[in-house]
Structure 1
Amino acid sequence: MSRWIITLIVFSIIFLFIEIYAFQAIKTLTKSRIIKWVWLLVSLAIYANFLYVIFSTPRSAGQTVNFQLAAGLMLTFLIPKLVLLVIMFGEDVFRVMGKLFSFLSPGETKDFSGRREFIAKIALGIATIPFASFLYGIWQGRYNYKVLKYQLFFEDLPKAFDGFTITQISDIHSGSFTNKEKIKYGVDLINEQKSDVMLFTGDIVNNKADEMDDWIDMFKELDAPYGKYSILGNHDYGDYVEWKKPEDKVANFQAVKDIHPKIGFDLLLDEHRYIEKDGDKLALIGVENWGKGFNQAGDLQKASSQISQDDFKILMTHDPSHWEYQVKQDDFHYHLTLSGHTHGLQMGIEIPGFFRWSPSQYVYKQWAGLYNEFGRFINVNRGFGYHAFPGRVGIWPEITVIELKQGTRDT
């Protein structure tokens, strides 16, 4: 039996188990056949649509908008059912223990039917929270752009750059876009920050260069007086598509790189640039993608080979695992690193200043926001676009504005 068939059987059993327990809540609360049939037919339609999209989409197409919508619907209905599963399964365990207690104590019997109905109501009530959140995330959350501002102090910042501002954007993923009006709003919001320099930290497409064709005119309107600079992300290499010929992948990669000058960005491929102001300068370094466990194309030493250790340095590297494993303790001392990649998994809970959580934190130590170790900073941008899941739940699309200040925070 092939591995693919075994995998299909395993997942079918898992999903069947989830559906059975979720359906228990409906059966407990209503005797209406119409409601039960609607529940079953909607579930079957979502699974059927997901399977149809998977099997009808050639791998050479990459990740399509139809796949994202199918996956989004699956998650929107599946996550609430997982909530039902946990609660109803817990109730079943409680009932079994109760019956066992009654068997061991014949004089005492308890009726749990009323309790089960109450638990089913609670379970459905709780399940509506992720259901509504995912619906909102698909409908509006993916366009709920947030401007996050930081002020960072450095004792060795050149004097002319005191108050210098950086706008960082990341993970455009143009192949996922469907709404020009909303994307135009996001682009205008970036320009409204009026920062001195604009830095883009990778993943301009999902897989193919032509995904950006309809968005070039819009993104070339981005403006910054000291220039716009960019790097590549893991999706820009076309590694997630089954290409018909190796030459097609090579041509696509070149076409992706060609997008950057078309929208006015200077693409850094293991290179540096000096930004000069009033006789002072800072070094901007951009590396190709370097990720822990995959695609380690970036060469930090090559990118920094023509700059001085005494220079004030800003590093652009797409994947924050690069900072964790290579950059943060490097003797060359990279003052500020800018990354993206994680998207904060596009779902989680953030209460600014109090609490934040996302499944992304179990994969990446630095998964969203600003971090400081060894006197060096990294900002992990949550991304401008979205990928795989066509929405955002609690982890909103981000435009970062960083102001550089000379001295210490106490001065």
Structure 2
Amino acid sequence: MRFIFIVMLALYVLIDVYVFRVLRGTGRSFWPYVYLFVSAVIIGNLIVRFFVINDEGGRVLSVSKSYAIGFFISFIVFKVFFLLFFSSETLIRFFIGGYKRLFGSDEVFTMPDRRAFVKNMLLGIAAVPFASMLYGMYRGKYNYKVLSYTLEFDDLPEAFDGYTITQVSDIHCGSFDNKEKIQYGIDLINEQQSDVLLFTGDMVNNKADELDGWMDVFAGLYAKDGKYSVLGNHDYGDYVEWETEEQKVANLEDLKGRQKSMGFDLLLNENRFLEKDGQRIALVGVENWGGGHFKKAGDLQKAKQGVSKDDFKIVMSHDPTHWEEKVLPDEDHFHITLSGHTHGMQFGIEIPGWIKWSPSKWRYKHWAGIYESNGEFLNVNRGFGYLAFPGRVGIWPEVTVIKLKKKLV
């Protein structure tokens, strides 16, 4: 790990040397040194936060550590675009010089000088992604969006025609730093006045005590038919080096108790029935089950015990890989599966009807929004909070509202 860090630091310094030389070539004697100062502060803060200061109770991802990561990633983005644009421009000038030497009147090979206009244009373009990242840290992470869907089913009980579900996922309260903004998000959820509220995992980053100071906020979430939850991979405390296994177990039990005290009915591989006018639909709550190396505590067979094949079923399962690998192949028909987990990588471009892209698609086949297969639906919520990078760019925090409709024959 230390060797990898040293290599990355060396690359960081080499890139700084290149950027410094290019900036000096623009004729602005002051700005190259400003750049070096900012770069040194950012990498220094990252080193101090992760290797010197054990702040905020030793949390793996404290608020200050998240911001150190955020500024580092933002500056790396600037460096990458800077290198991309200026190295491409250098390559173009190299070929122009070679062409003039071979086919023109030049007796010796010389590269054309950079034009001032081109220099300034490339600098401006490289700064746009950097500014976007900073905006994502300042405002984007609280740019809550309500996404509404209407799903129709032949076998939906008539009593539930028009029934509304609000889904929230990936709160990650250990990352929060602005109670007023979070309260705005909670109020927005309550304004939907849905019949039931379903939370699909990752209440915390790692530890139950991250909820200190936030429990009253999330206790304010309300739906007339109740609010239900399942666990996500971060809720188990697997990413913390506990001194004893007993501490880890106690942390999970503490989280379960806190969810109960906030009014959530936590489903641990079990189910509940929502009843209305003598009819019912089933909520099937599965513990985290993720493809690859993620925790596989979920047991769909156990969770569906007592639910009949004819019941209308809604599965709550944090990781969307569970849908394709376990839910769809099951002999039972699960009408809707609600997941989260991906965050849409908190970065991407979405223009409804035009484009939907995020690096998350390289890791997850189903990474955001509604998917359908053989009459079974999956919704992957983009998440309410944020993790590691303390911001969102293009992939905004989401509140999902799903209306159930009886399909007309």
TM-score (norm 1): 0.94
Q: Which residue of 2 aligns with 1:75?
A: 73
Q: Which residue of 1 aligns with 2:44?
A: 48
Q: Tell me, what secondary structure is at the counterpart of 2:212? A: helix
The number of aligned residues is 405
Report the CA distance between 1:99 and its aligned residue: 3.7
Report the CA distance between 1:30 and its aligned residue: 2.3
Matched, 1:300 2:300: yes
Q: Which residue of 1 aligns with 2:311?
A: 311
Mapped to 2, the partners of 1:278 and 1:372 lie a distance apart of 29
Q: Which residue of 2 aligns with 1:9?
A: 6
Report the CA distance between 1:85 and its aligned residue: 0.5
Mapped to 2, the partners of 1:223 and 1:201 lie a distance apart of 16
Q: Tell me, what secondary structure is at the counterpart of 1:296? A: coil
Structure 1 counterpart of 2:63, from 49, 62, 65? 65
Give the counterpart letter for 1:309 in structure 2: K
Q: Which residue of 1 aligns with 2:235?
A: 236
Q: Which residue of 2 aligns with 1:138?
A: 137
Give the counterpart letter for 2:16 in structure 1: E
Mapped to 1, the partners of 2:43 and 2:9 lie a distance apart of 11
Alignment of 1:2-401 (within 5 A): 4-32=1-29, 34-58=30-54, 60-105=58-103, 107-108=105-106, 112-115=111-114, 117-293=116-292, 294-401=294-401
CA displacement 1:363-407 (0-9 Å, x = unmatched): 011111111112111111111111101111111111000000011
Mapped to 2, the partners of 1:60 and 1:243 lie a distance apart of 11
CA displacement 1:255-283 (0-9 Å, x = unmatched): 11112111101000000001100111011
Report the CA distance between 1:329 and its aligned residue: 3.1
Give the counterpart letter for 2:37 in structure 1: L
- RMSD (Å) for aligned C-alpha atoms: 1.8
CA displacement 1:36-72 (0-9 Å, x = unmatched): 2111111111111111111024595221111101011
- Asked if 2 retains the 8 angstrom alpha-carbon contact of 1:317 and 1:339, the reply is yes
Report the CA distance between 1:103 and its aligned residue: 4.5
Report the CA distance between 1:93 and its aligned residue: 2.2
CA displacement 1:193-232 (0-9 Å, x = unmatched): 0000000000000111011021111111111111110000
CA displacement 1:302-358 (0-9 Å, x = unmatched): 101221111110000001111122212322111100000111111111111211111
TM-score (norm 2): 0.95
Task: Structure 1: state its 5+ residue gaps.
Answer: none
Mapped to 1, the partners of 2:21 and 2:405 lie a distance apart of 59
Q: Tell me, what secondary structure is at the counterpart of 2:333? A: coil
Distance 1:196 1:38, change over 3 A: same
Report the CA distance between 1:78 and its aligned residue: 1.6
- Asked if 2 retains the 8 angstrom alpha-carbon contact of 1:141 and 1:391, the reply is yes
Give the counterpart letter for 2:289 in structure 1: W
